[in-house]
Amino acid sequence: MGAFAGKTVLVTGGSTGIGNAAARRFLATGARVIVTGTRASAADYAGTDGDLAGLEYHQLDQGDLAAVAAFDPGVAQLHALVVSGAKVAYKRAEFIPDTFADVLATNLTGPMALAMKFRAALAAAKGSIVFVGSVASFKGTIGQPAYSASKGGLLTLTRTLGQALGGEGIRVNLVAPGLVRSKMTAITWEHPDRLAATERQVPLGRIGEPDDIAGPIIFLASDAARYVTGTSLVIDGGLSA
Amino acid sequence: MNGLNNGSWARGKSVLVTGGTQGIGKAVAEQFLALGAKVTITGTRTRIECYDEPPEGVTYLQADLTWPEARAEIAAHIDALDVLVNNAGRGSANEYEQEEFEHVIDSNLNAVMDLSVRLHPLLKATKGSIVNVGSLASFLALKETPAYTASKAGLLGLTRALGDKWAPDGVRVNLVAPGFIATRMTEGARTNPEREKKLMRAIPMQRWGEPDEIASAILFLASPAASYITGQSLAIDGGLMLR
């Protein structure tokens, strides 16, 4: 309670899913929370799993470098930058070079651009970055070459920025969720047989919920993790243990 | 539940911290006590008063955990448990001598396995969790301490195996991997300016870690905020392992 009172947090992809769960938790601890999403306005998220009440919403395509450059949410000091926005393409589309490049732009180049854009504001607050990676940061995903390459890249980016920004007092970490119930994974959990097959493989016996990932994100961004940098935390119910 | 720093989850919980008289273990005990938990610690000396500034308000059990009888006695003494922090451990100056090697493995690995198995039924009853204290040696070679290195790498494997094995019981098992922390174990390096300077060059955050910084991560892993995390390790090293 109040751990982030008076602090400012930015969550990209904070309109739905994991990003929204993290944004709501930051809000509950007293933060000013800015979120981005791809839709024109907060009202456009009516009927999704996102709850934007109390959050400052901005439209941003984080894969568009010009849009990232023009993005101005009005922050002089930023205590946490959470990059949760991401995309994935199904039906073998990621084997098409244009689609591959598009996924990389959103999932890897965009996060780097955001980190550099807010570097000074993060340094001013001795803040931290939390990238949302994936278990695909560590292993191949046969149908998604772009998604896994982008998430693998995000892991090494986390390590490199952890080294490069440590001297400025900026910590950089990554959470690596397993299968979590969100818009992006509906293809798996909306199908009862696929869901049951997946849950049999998870030692804790269930797929993750966005809030299962939000807790660890808040931890990594908080003072409780003030000596943690360049690391990754897998949150997958034991699937990869 | 707002997760961090809202410690209401820990109120009234039973916690056992092995090696809880000093350093990281003491910081863990004190953070749990501050949240209203009932904390039991172990130490090797006869009485808690034999330590300088031990934690206050804990139940103290004397135990050399390398003795099976001592582990049995602890298990017999404890009737409820929500969190087990396997923190006790040691290194030796002569780990290339077989007897010393085996003694370190006994302390850092065999004792942890046995105590965890003995206390598993109590943790199953509360859907509790275990946090093992590993080390950067869980991942990297420390060539002067082969037993310490092997034991801490083994502890990582044990964390994964027990995490998988006991997940169906709702018992989570995780590991923290501290880097260079300002404790008695690192006193030698901290009082030698040349060695300290060399070490600090290897750490992106350019400072020693404090016991409290490991304790806060242990509390996180034991908390409901980490309810979907098991079999995992978390490095708390100021970025040391990046280089």
A213 contacts in chain B (CB < 8 Å): 228
Banded model confidence at residue B102, pLDDT cuts 50, 70, 90: very high
- pLDDT average, residue stretch B108-118: 98
Strands (E), B29-182: 38-43, 59-62, 83-86, 129-133, 172-178
Q: Which residues pair with B42 in a beta bridge?
A: B61
Query: For B218, left (φ over 0), alpha (ψ -120 to 50), or beta?
Result: alpha
Question: Among B8-12, B58-62, B100-104, B192-196, whose mean pLDDT is lowest?
Answer: B192-196
pLDDT in tens, B144-158: 999 999 999 999 999
CB proximity A67 to B under 8 Å: no
3-state secondary structure string, chain A? CCCCCCCEEEEECCCCHHHHHHHHHHHHCCCEEEEEECCCCHHHHCCCCCCCCCCEEEECCCCCHHHHHHCCCCCCCCCEEEECCCCCCCCCHHHCHHHHHHHHHHHHHHHHHHHHHCHHHHHHHCCEEEEECCHHHCCCCCCCHHHHHHHHHHHHHHHHHHHHHHHHCCEEEEEEECCECCHHHHHHHCCHHHHHHHHHHCCCCCCECHHHHHHHHHHHHCHHHCCCCCCEEEECCCCCC
Residue B228 a catalytic site member: no
Q: For residue B124, is pLDDT > 90?
A: yes
The two tokens of residue A29 are 């601890």
CB B100 within 8 A of CB B149: no
Distance from C-alpha of A4 to C-alpha of B114, rounded to nearest angstrom: 41
Q: Does A54 touch chain B (CB under 8 A)?
A: no
- How far is the C-alpha of B87 from the C-alpha of B176, rounded, in Å? 10
Helix (H), strand (E) at residue B15: strand B14-17
Give the number of beta-carbon pairs within 8 Å between A and B.
146
Residue B230 is nearest to which of A2, A203, A219, comparing CB atoms? Answer: A203
* B52 pLDDT higher than 80: yes
Per-window interface: A 152-191 vs B, CB < 8 A: 159-160, 162-163, 166-167, 171, 178
- pLDDT of B187 higher than 90: no
Average pLDDT along chain B: 95
Q: Which of A159, A219, A226 sits opposite B242 (nearest CB)?
A: A159
Distance (Å, rounded) from C-alpha B69 to C-alpha A84? 50
A-chain residues within 8 Å CB-CB of B11? Answer: none
**Closest Cα in chain B to A126:** B205
Structure tokens at B85: 């922090």
Q: Is A227 a catalytic residue?
A: no
Q: What residues in chain A have per-residue pLDDT under 50? A: 1
In chain A, where the domains are located: 8-181+210-234
pLDDT at A5: 95
Percent with pLDDT over 70 in chain B:
98
Q: How far is B26 from chain A (nearest CA, A)?
A: 17
ipTM confidence score: 0.86
Is pLDDT at B55 greater than 60 in this prediction? yes
Can you give the pLDDT at residue B1?
36
CB contact under 8 A, A215 and B225: yes
C-alpha span between B41 and A200 (Å, rounded):
37
Instruction: Classify B141 as helix, strand or coil.
Output: coil
Among residues A147, A148, A150, A222, the one annotated as catalytic is A147
Interacting residues of A156 by C-beta distance below 8 A, sequence separation 6+:
none
CB A228 within 8 A of CB A171: yes
What pLDDT is attached to residue B3?
43
Class of the CATH-defined domain B7-182+210-231: alpha beta
Please report residues of B whose CB lies closer than 8 A to that of A209: 228
pLDDT at B6: 65
Domain range A8-181+210-234, its CATH number among 3.20.20.70, 3.40.190.10, 3.40.50.720, 3.30.2290.10? 3.40.50.720
